[in-house]
Amino acid sequence: MSQHMTPDEFREYGRQVVDWVADYMEGVEKLPVRSQVAPGDVRAALPAHPPERGEGFGGVLADLDRIIVPGLTHWQHPGFFAYYPSNASGPAILGDLLSSGLGVQGMLWATSPACTELETVVVDWLAELLGLPDHFRTDNVGGGVIQDSASSASLLAILAALRRTGDAAEQGLTGRHTLYVSTETHSSLAKSARIAGIGADNVRVVGVDPATLGMDPERLDRMLAEDIAAGATPVLVCATVGTTSTAAVDPVRAIGEICRRHGVWLHVDAAYAGVAAVCPELRGLNDGVAEYADSYATNPHKWLLTNFDCTVMWVADRAPLTGALAIHPEYLRNAATSSGAVVDYRDWQVSLGRRFRALKLWAVLRWYGAEGLRDHIHKGLEQAARLTAWITDDPDFELHEPQTLGLVCFRPLWAGGDEDAATMRLMEALNDSGALYLTHTRVAGRVVLRMALGGVRTEAEHVRAAWEAIRAEHARTVVGETAVVTGRSDLIT
Ligand SMILES: *Cc1c(COP(=O)(O)O)cnc(C)c1O
């Protein structure tokens, strides 16, 4: 027997694996959403040493059921409302399997022309589906590229912006460079600032409008003027369309006008919310992007049915990005690159090697079509609207407004005491139940629960059941803590 899996063995085990995944899709609803293992449980169940002799594949599937699945949190569970959805759809999973099967490296056009050209086509398709401007298209001065994550996209935007401000790539940073975020911006910007050598102390945090939690453009303007007067070089402003905490939307147009005036790069982080623009009526989210954004990123791996990892990043002009990153060692020289007629995506990302991620996005776009994608977004919005109405009608809960897209944030009301601690206990009890999974954030100093709709398997009945569980647990907790809740008494006897 050859030590390699033969094509026939691959067929046999491959069918078992595909069946396993299909069974998982059918049965995931019966599993507890959040893993209930304690730290170290999974590790302790695994052998301390690797096998000396090959074991075949059957044992992997057996241990998957016995050890791995209990140690998983099921992101594809219909009761998963935590963080943001991380949708894995059938066509995306199959597209990824094909990518694994082909095992190509797409670092250069020459290392697999179709890997590059399909990616160019799907990112241009997605730009069209989202109504993004023509200059983001690869047949124009800009272009799109698939990155592993929105965090990488922000780092790359910073590197391109640094390139545009001078020759940091060659000489390193000289003088003080500054970056602008709001109190609500994703933490990846601060991390990227550290990685890029800008330094965490040079990340300037602009305050937000307390009503919308969107960045206050006037404060940004003032801060930029002060920093420039003090000799700093502003590198980039990050505006967010759909913050991680509450899905707040920064005023991109006003921010963009200020960036233009000061000559600063505008990056728009629309990781969660950007894909909602497949629905034409939601394109107002991107107001100002066409005129002012130098770069823009959104994650099909959150709400658009494509399994992780798949962030699409576009730049209005690709020259600063490739200028910052292109490097030409002898061993990668080839006629196609020298001709200048091809795109080499290694110059658009941090690493050299790259997966054939375009296959899964291509599979998704072809399977669902624009119509199917719009239906999926609409379904999440409808579920959010229903939940929002229930919360508004319930005197024991308070809705966080503005409620945006598929994210609903709310606060259970308590009759005094440490309300934040009570809310956290309520959330932990619900998450321990295994029926649903919620996360929290803090708004104006207070703990708020987040419920993100839009899961691939989440139907109206699951949202209803989750809401009933939340109400019942709140009522039970109120009784348990012998507090008196205002308003409703039907569940408290
Ligand atoms: C989720 C999220 C990110 C991080 O996304 P990754 O792709 O996991 O890096 C960044 N920004 C915002 C606004 C997000 O919601």
Looking at residue 134, what DSSP letter applies? Answer: G
Predicted pLDDT at 171 = 80
Same domain, 399 and 450: yes
> Average pLDDT of 72-93?
97
Q: Is 80 part of a structural domain of the chain?
A: no
H helix or E strand, kind and range, residue 233 = strand 233-240
Which of 165, 169, 247, 183 has the alpha carbon at shortest distance from 220? 183
Beta pairing partners, 280: none
Domain boundary among the residues 290, 323, 355 is at 355
Ligand 1 atom at shortest distance from the alpha carbon of 188? 10
Cβ neighbours around 296 below 10 Å, total:
31
Using pLDDT thresholds of 50, 70 and 90, give the confidence band for residue 485.
Answer: very low
pLDDT band of residue 170 (cuts 50, 70, 90) is: confident
Q: Residue 68: helix, strand or coil by DSSP?
A: helix
> Which of 244, 268, 285 to mutate to test ligand 1, by most ligand atoms within 8 A of the CB atom?
244
Answer yes or no: do 223 and 113 share one domain. Answer: yes
Q: How many domains are contained in the chain?
A: 2
Nearest CA to ligand 1 atom 2: 271
Ligand 1 lined by 154 (C-beta under 6 Å): no
- Domain co-membership, 302 together with 381: no
pLDDT of residue 1: 52
Q: What's the 428 CA to ligand 1 centre distance in angstroms?
A: 24
Q: Is 423 in the pocket of ligand 1 (CB under 6 A)?
A: no
Q: Which of 355, 381, 411 is the last residue of a domain?
A: 355
Q: Is 87 in the pocket of ligand 1 (CB under 6 A)?
A: no
Does residue 204 belong to any structural domain of this protein?
A: yes
Among 355, 376, 400, give the residue marking a domain's end: 355
Q: Are residues 417 and 344 in the same domain?
A: no
Which of the listed residues 250, 269, 298 should we mutate to test ligand 1's pocket, taking the one with most ligand atoms within 8 A of CB? Answer: 269
The verdict on residue 59 lying in a domain is no
Q: Ligand 1 in contact with 84 (CB < 6 A)?
A: yes
Instruction: Please determine, for residue 329, whether its predicted confidence score (pLDDT) is greater than 70.
Output: yes
Assess if residue 117 is contained within a domain.
Answer: yes
pLDDT of residue 2: 67
Q: What is the mean pLDDT of residues 260-272?
A: 98
For residue range 385-439, list pLDDT tens digits in order: 999 999 999 999 999 999 999 999 999 999 888 999 999 999 999 999 999 999 9
Reply yes or no on whether the pLDDT at 483 is more than 60.
no
Residue of 181, 188, 240, 441 with the most ligand 1 atoms within 8 Å of its CB, for mutation: 188
Ligand 1 centroid–CA 354 distance in Å is 20
Q: What is the pLDDT of residue 478?
A: 82
Which ligand 1 atom is the nearest neighbour of the CA of 154?
A: 10
For ligand 1, whether the C-beta of 299 sits within 6 Å is: yes
The region of weakest confidence among 127-136, 172-181, 481-490 is: 481-490
CA 417 to each of CA 413, 420, 445: distance values in angstroms, whole numbers, following the listed order: 11, 9, 16
How many CB atoms lie under 10 A from the CB of residue 105? Answer: 14
| CATH code: domain of residue 293 | 3.40.640.10
Residue 429 DSSP SS3: helix
pLDDT 10s digits, 192-217: 999 999 999 999 999 999 999 999 99
83 pLDDT band (50/70/90 cuts)?
very high
Domain for residue 326, yes or no?
yes
Ligand 1 center to 312 CA (angstroms): 12
Query: Using a 6 Å cutoff on CB, does residue 148 contact ligand 1?
Result: no
**Same-domain pairing of 269 and 399:** no
Ligand 1 atom, smallest distance to 309 CA: 7
CA distance 282 to 300: 16
Residues with Cβ within 8 Å of residue 132, at least 6 apart in sequence: 277, 286, 289, 290, 296, 314
Burial class of residue 454 (count of CB atoms within 10 Å of its CB; 0-12, 13-18, 19+):
buried
Angle at 270 between CA 256 and CA 444, to 5 degrees: 85
CB of 243 within 6 A of ligand 1: the answer is yes
Regarding whether 476 and 452 lie in a shared domain, the answer is: yes
What is the predicted pLDDT for the residue at 424?
97
Please enumerate in sequence order all residues whose Cβ is within 8 A of that of 243, keeping only pairs 6 or more positions apart, or say none: 184, 185, 186, 213, 249, 250
pLDDT band at 492 (very low <50, low <70, confident <90, very high): very low
**Alpha carbon distance 337, 317 (integer Å):** 19
Task: Please say whether the beta carbons of 92 and 472 come within 8 A.
Answer: no
pLDDT recorded at residue 487: 42
Distance 489 CA to ligand 1 centre (A): 40
Identify the three-state secondary structure at position 87.
Answer: coil
Residue 489: pLDDT above 50?
no
| 298 CA → ligand 1 middle, Å | 8
Model pLDDT, residue 169: 72
Does one domain contain both 331 and 465? no
Domain that holds residue 382: 366-491
Residue 456 inside a domain? The answer is yes
- Pocket of ligand 1 contains residue 292 by CB under 6 Å: no
- pTM, two decimals, is 0.95
Q: Are residues 406 and 291 located together in one domain of the fold? A: no
Give the side-chain half-sphere CA count within 13 A for 92: 21
Omega of the bond leading into 96 within 30 degrees of 0 (cis): no
Which pLDDT does position 50 carry in this prediction? 95
344 and 384 in a common domain? no
Between strands 439-443 and 446-452, the pairing is antiparallel
Residue-wise pLDDT tens digits, 288-316 = 999 999 999 999 999 999 999 999 999 99
Phi and psi torsions of 323, nearest 5°: -65, -35
**What number is the average pLDDT over the span 9-37?**
97
pLDDT at 245 over 60: yes
> Do 124 and 263 belong to one domain?
yes
Counting atoms of ligand 1 from 1, which one is nearest the CA of 152?
9
174 pLDDT higher than 90:
no
Asked whether 306 lines ligand 1 (CB < 6 A), one says no
Same domain, 399 and 424: yes
CA-proximal residue: ligand 1, atom 12 (nearest): 271
Q: Are residues 342 and 370 in the same domain?
A: no
The CA 396 to ligand 1 mean position distance, Å, reads 32
Report yes or no on 70 lying in a domain.
Answer: no
Which pairs with CB-CB distance under 8 Å and at least 24 residues apart come from 328-336? 332/107, 332/108, 334/108, 334/110, 335/110, 336/108, 336/109, 336/110, 336/113
pLDDT, residue 480, reads 61
